[in-house]
Amino acid sequence: MRKLYLSVLLFLGFLSAFAQEDGNFPFGTVDASHLQQSTYSKDSTAEAYVINEFGSAYISERENTGLVFTYHVKIKILNNKGLDQANIIVPIRSSDGSSEFLRDIQAVTINLENGLPQKTTLDPKKIYTEKVNEYYERKKFTLPDAKVGSIIEYQYTLESPFIFNFRNWEFQCGIPKIKSEYWVKIPGNYDYNIGLYGFQKLDRQDSELVKDCFRVGGGVADCSLMKFGMKDIPAFVEEDYMTASKNFISAIRFELRDIRYFNGTVKNFTKSWQDVYKELKTDVDFGVQIKRHSDLFKNQISALQVKYKDQKELAKGIYNTVKNWYQWDNYYGKYARNGLKKAYETRTGNVGDINLTLIGALQSAGINTDPVLLSTRDNGLPTKLFPVMSEFNYIIAKVNLNNESFLLDATDKDLPFGMLPFRCLNKEGRAIGKDSCYWVNLVPDKKYKQSDYIKLKLDSSGNFTGKITIRTADYQAYYKRKKIKEFASTDEYIENLDEKNPNIKIKNYSISNLDSLELPLTEEYDVVIKAFDTMDIGTLSINPFIFNKTTENPFKLNERIYPIDFGAQKDFATVFQLEIPKNYEVKLLPNSVALQLPENNGKYIFNSGLLNNNLITVSEFFTINKPEIPGTHYPYLKELYNKIVQSNKSNIIINKK
Amino acid sequence: MKKTVLFFIAFLGCTAVIKAQSYSVALIPQDLKSYAKAVVRKDERTVIISSPSNMVYQIKKATTLLNQTSEDMAKTVVLYNKSRKIKSLALNIYDANGYLIGKVKESDFEDRNYIDGYSLFQDDRIKSYRPVIRSYPVTVEEIIEIRYNQTLAIPDWDPQYHDNIAIEKASFEILKSPDYQIKFKSVALPDPEINTQGKAESIKWTLANVKANKYEPYSVNEDKRLPNLKISPVKFSYDGIDGEYTDWKGYGKWVYDKLLTGRQDLLPSTAATIKDLVKNCKNQKEAAQLIYEYAQKKNRYVSVQIGIGGFQPMKASEVDRLSYGDCKALVNYTSALLGIAGIESIYTEVKAGPERVNYLKDFASISQGNHIILCLPFEKDSVWLECTSKDMPFGFLGSFTQGRRALLIKKDGGELVKTPSYNWRKNLQQRNAQFELNALGSLNGKIRTLFSGIQYENRESLAELSPTKKEEQIKLSYRDIPDFEILSYNLSQEKLSPKWTEDLELSTAHFGTQNGKYLIFDINPVNVSKMDLKEVINRKNQLYINTGYTDIDTIKIKVPGNYKLETLPMCVNKSFDFGSYELKNTFNNGELLTVRKMIIKEGVYPPEHYEAFVNLYETAKKFDKSRCVLVKND
């Protein structure tokens, strides 16, 4: 009895310790100085700012409660846009029958009316529950009487059975924060990997031991109370051509390593890559699926083995067979969702279903294939130091042949052998090999590649007649093929192209290799372009960029912090040839340009010339040699694009002799 | 009543004994496939009205999706709430040969809240399902039955809801007692067949072999061209509230009496605040402006649609407390405030959106509007207010609700009225730019632009942006001036017209190109037409221009002293009934003066004029890029 009493005291003591210490702040106090503010001194562009933010999380002793997270924030609204902060959404997750539970929501708005502070409290009946899908609900409410100048404040407690990722905490968000603190109390028998992400440094990182703080089923454990804090946090602003903001936002993330139960058993979650490796091999939704269902395409593979003796050709054959069998259901995943057998029968599945089947099929044909886990671009980069399995949301196959390897994804029918979809281009993936696992480079050597060859002749009626040849390869071809397939037939695609340019008439077109995905796609047209209404004027001005003209620089701002990520390299070439009538001479050709990015990360070359006095040639070559350009090179990249825009405006001037 | 219901069920039972139809794609007439993304094989709808509070809607619709381009159509979404419940829901999926390859039950459907994307919450729910299509063509058959406990909103019929859909067979039938009256309005539909047999009356519209249309840009709204049917009750019931109307007057009276009356109560302190606010005003308009701006500052737009709240505004006292509401609530609130100052205002229903859609002159029904605005009927010139915006100028409606027939909800009933329209003369963007070009190709100068009428909206969102986003937007607005530095920027608002005056001072090193002894530059860096109009051969639809405008740009570029003009860019002047484009260039005293004038006039024009319309935009696109060539003085 006595012992219990003491433990209750300790427990309560701990609670009040939480409340009274500098961490959490009292709810609903009037902050006169902030009420009167009309801007935020550290960031004059802010539409609102966080005055104070406090979160705490601990694992509950109460049975079936899991993790208890409390959140409390106080925000000052500075302008109309800042009012968006008054619309609160709290996501509630459910999975496999368990669900999170939100309680004790309190919200208040404080306004200055006639010099006096006025409080308006949220009516609990105005908290709505919106069901989004079977895994996910949203609790929504809006602060009453919120205006420009208001201080809004709210807090809530969330109970969650999902303790694997504990509760991550983002220090940064779209508005600046004066102070943000997060306290976590983790019992000693729960071992978490904890990592700080982003560029900001912690202003506070304390850790203390709380003895006998966790009692469950007769056992007692000490807890580790950790306090993390940051001050004067700048707002996080997204830029164009950037990968997931998750990669850059300052945050703390957790992953459970193991739990030591009081009865002595230990449940391991993730210790090292070795353990992940062993686990995946024996996981019912992963390794076992591959082994058990590697015979799904047995018949088709037998036929292919007769046809192809070369390993690479065999691998291609299997890849194409599997790829064309399924219709992807648009769900990501590293595990099979429907199960490979069901997926095969219904011919549909998630990424796990389709690609695990592919891996099994390739392995059964004797082709050395490793599964590769990856995190898609919008999901952020995976942690490398230790495995955080929940960060991987996708799986692909890596085929290892003699001295080359190929990365395969069978979810997209337009992908050629060895090319990954854009969503997978996220630096590195983790291969689960036969004997060990290793990092795999996902940066493609396939590019956005296009070359345009335009050969025209100016006739006496003011028309350009001639031929256009457009050749696209790799990613450029992939997107082009998708575009053409948006139309019911290539005829309709050309019809649309013709109609979009009323001054250009297209005849005799041919599109080669539309379905030969590994080969470059070639489009050829004969064209008649109405260039001049009349040839009576003595001087004619011609701009060679009739097609695919770059008219503006996509980079407008003067400064940039984050790297520019295009996903893949660029390789564009345009060659323009124009034959002018014999009674004309060239008066002016465009200036030449040659510009290179630092570290040879890119190049732009623009040239023009004249042959035989009546054949004008203009050529342009533009390459970006690395998919990602560092933020410090931004001014050079911007200037390169400036030069492209300027060159694309150039004029060739010809005169009647 | 019961007897009648039984009869209807029996009636239906007979029609259910049909031979299993074949949905084989080979059976589709060839001409129905041209320009079609999908072909409706069979669309049978039946509305059974047994009483003003009891209505059943049955749909049996089979659509063949011809190819991958119709992928987005393969989704079935059915809305339900307290007044409409789903009685049965199923899908059958057939392959190209008409063989059944999939069956979807109601329990397979995803069930969740309807999220319209802008409301905080609404109590509508949906059941949705998207089958995974492995190969095309495929036929999806939907069998749905919905039971309503209201008849205020009777289902409309849009058998061909897009140009690219063809119809093999479609029908819409209403079954009711002959004494129960309804009204209807149809577009592009043959007259219905009416059959009365004792206690049952059937009104049935039938369509067959309707071809798909090729998409033609700048056509009148599909609602006006493609077959559709609107139905309204005479006597109805909704959420326990009864009503009756045969015209707009009657409908408006019901709305006024049942939905609006008694909801303009305010907190006592508010009445005092308003009286104090307007005590020194010289006239009603002045007082109205102060009140409107007070409400704008105090409230924000939050949409919560629950039950009758979907039709009835929140009480004014609630808005007073919460400082938020949707369009109905904010209009009602502002109206209440105006009432305190003795200013009359009228709650007005309208169909809002960029396209000007009118309330039908000769047909009253509830489904024609989607927004509420406020009309202040002053003796000379009514003032119209948009109450959901925090920064809209007093009296300005904008492109969202201008120039269309709307419905005033007055005490004695509904009355149609036209909201103020902004024509091509009023929608003016007038610009004066003064630049100086130097021998290295650098340009610096000032641009002053006035935005009025609908063109006021060109800078509306810019005003509220953060400095970084603002810089980006300014550079985007002047995207044809390469990489310029903003030396100063000012945007001032004149609330009354309303009008923006923008002053931009800039400099850029990348404007002119030096090439040997030549210096070449763009003559019009401020207003370059980028419009890409598709040409349409043998156009069928009239040319419909929704909003007109006038752009006048006067650009002066002073060239370096040691250069002289080599070629003066060409002048051009093209004029038609629907608009004109004029570019005039002169060179005097070392300065190039370019005056660009483009006018597009709203209206409806014969289909043959479309070709010239395309030509006008092509001309603008071409000449806007004109360049001037200077040569160095020897």
The one-letter code for the residue type at B46 is T
Do B223 and B321 share a domain, yes or no?
no
Residues in chain B with pLDDT values less than 70: 1-21, 307-309
Residue A517 confidence (pLDDT) = 94
∠ Cα B212 B217 B222 (to 5°): 55
Task: Name the CATH architecture for the domain at A447-656.
Answer: Sandwich (2.60)
Q: Which of A405, A431, A430 is nearest to A418 (CA)?
A: A405
Boundary residue ending a domain (B242, B274, B300): B242
Indicate the CATH number for domain A273-441.
Answer: 3.10.620.30
**Confidence check: pLDDT of A270 > 70:** no
**Residue in chain A nearest B514 by alpha carbon:** A591
Q: Which residue has the tokens 């002894």?
A: B517
Whether residue A171 contacts residue A251, with contact meaning beta carbons closer than 8 Å, is answered with yes
**Confidence check: pLDDT of A17 > 80:** no
Do B236 and B327 share a domain, yes or no?
no
Chain A CB within 8 Å of residue B133 CB: yes
Which residues, 6 or more positions from B2, have their beta carbon under 8 angstroms from its beta carbon? Answer: none
**Confidence check: pLDDT of A3 > 70:** no
Strands annotated E in B138-244: 138-148, 165-176, 182-187, 193-197, 200-210, 228-233, 235-238, 241-244
Handedness of CA B274, B279, B280, B282 (dihedral sign): positive
Which chain B residues are within 8 Å of A348, Cβ to Cβ? 132, 134
Residue A132 confidence (pLDDT) = 82
Distance of CA B404 to the CA centre of its chain: 12
Q: Residue B552 maps to which CATH number?
A: 2.60.120.1130
Cα A74 to Cα A91: distance, rounded to the nearest angstrom:
20
Cα A606 to Cα A593: distance, rounded to the nearest angstrom:
5
Region of B598 (left: φ > 0; alpha: ψ -120 to 50; beta: rest) is beta
Residue B459 confidence (pLDDT) = 93
Q: In the beta sheet, which residues pair with residue B563?
A: B632
Do B395 and B433 share a domain, yes or no?
no
Sheet of strand B110-113: strand arrangement: B76-80, B125-129, B110-113
Q: What is the pLDDT of residues A63-94, one digit of tens each?
A: 777 899 999 999 999 999 999 999 999 999 98
Residue A271 confidence (pLDDT) = 59
Residue A257 confidence (pLDDT) = 77
Cα B184 to Cα A93: distance, rounded to the nearest angstrom:
47
* Terminal-to-terminal C-alpha distance of chain A: 113
Do B166 and B17 share a domain, yes or no?
yes
Residue B420 confidence (pLDDT) = 94
**Confidence check: pLDDT of A23 > 80:** no
* Terminal-to-terminal C-alpha distance of chain B: 102
B423 domain residue, yes or no:
no
∠ Cα A343 A344 A350 (to 5°): 35
**Nearest CA distance, B102 vs chain A (angstrom):** 10
Q: What is the pLDDT of residues B540-553, one digit of tens each?
A: 999 999 999 999 99
**Confidence check: pLDDT of A334 > 50:** yes
Chain B CB within 8 Å of residue A553 CB: yes
Region of B216 (left: φ > 0; alpha: ψ -120 to 50; beta: rest) is beta
Question: B534, A79: Cβ pair inside 8 Å?
Answer: no
Do B257 and B186 share a domain, yes or no?
no
Helix B284-298 and helix B268-277, axial crossing angle in degrees, nearest 10: 130
Do B451 and B546 share a domain, yes or no?
yes
Q: What is the ipTM of this complex?
A: 0.81
pTM to 2 decimals? 0.86
Question: A327, B132: Cβ pair inside 8 Å?
Answer: yes
B401 domain residue, yes or no:
yes
Boundary residue ending a domain (B242, B262, B291): B242
- Structure tokens, B342: 């003795």
Cα B274 to Cα B265: distance, rounded to the nearest angstrom:
14
Q: What is the pLDDT of residues A413-465, one digit of tens each?
A: 999 999 999 999 999 999 988 888 899 999 998 999 999 999 999 998 899 99
B327 domain residue, yes or no:
yes
- Domain spans, chain A: 2-266, 273-441, 447-656
Do B212 and B260 share a domain, yes or no?
no
Cα B7 to Cα A657: distance, rounded to the nearest angstrom:
92
B545 domain residue, yes or no:
yes
Boundary residue ending a domain (B205, B222, B242): B242
Whether residue B450 contacts residue B429, with contact meaning beta carbons closer than 8 Å, is answered with yes
Cα A124 to Cα A100: distance, rounded to the nearest angstrom:
19
The one-letter code for the residue type at A226 is M
Q: Nearest CB to A486: which of B69, B125, B479?
A: B69
Residue span of the structural domain in which B438 resides = 428-632
Structural domain count, chain B: 3
Which chain B residues are within 8 Å of A237, Cβ to Cβ? 468
Cα A606 to Cα A604: distance, rounded to the nearest angstrom:
7
Do B435 and B338 share a domain, yes or no?
no
Question: A651, B120: Cβ pair inside 8 Å?
Answer: no
Q: Residue B386 maps to which CATH number?
A: 3.10.620.30
Chain A CB within 8 Å of residue B461 CB: no
Whether residue A562 contacts residue A626, with contact meaning beta carbons closer than 8 Å, is answered with no
Do B339 and B443 share a domain, yes or no?
no
Residue B309 confidence (pLDDT) = 65
Using pLDDT thresholds of 50, 70 and 90, give the confidence band for residue A135.
Answer: confident
Do B235 and B326 share a domain, yes or no?
no
Mean residue pLDDT across chain B: 91
B64 domain residue, yes or no:
yes
- The H or E element containing residue A206 is strand A204-216
Q: How many CB pairs under 8 A join A and B?
A: 136
Question: B625, A543: Cβ pair inside 8 Å?
Answer: yes
Mean of the pLDDT values across residues A320-346? 91
Residue B467 CA neighbour count, 13 Å, CB half: 8
Question: A145, B323: Cβ pair inside 8 Å?
Answer: yes
Task: Name the CATH architecture for the domain at A2-266.
Answer: Sandwich (2.60)
Q: Which of A210, A147, A162, A167 is nearest to A71 (CA)?
A: A167
Chain B CB within 8 Å of residue A653 CB: yes
Cα B622 to Cα A549: distance, rounded to the nearest angstrom:
13
Do B303 and B378 share a domain, yes or no?
yes
Residue B394 confidence (pLDDT) = 94
Question: A588, B535: Cβ pair inside 8 Å?
Answer: no
Do B374 and B462 share a domain, yes or no?
no
Q: Which of A406, A401, A426, A410 is nearest to A418 (CA)?
A: A406
Determine which of A464, A499, A643, A644 to mutate to test the interface with B (most B C-beta atoms within 10 Å). Answer: A499
Q: What is the pLDDT of residues A371-418, one digit of tens each?
A: 999 999 989 888 877 777 778 999 999 999 988 999 999 999 999 999
- The H or E element containing residue A20 is helix A2-20
Residue A120 confidence (pLDDT) = 95
**Residue in chain A nearest B570 by alpha carbon:** A537
Chain B CB within 8 Å of residue A548 CB: no
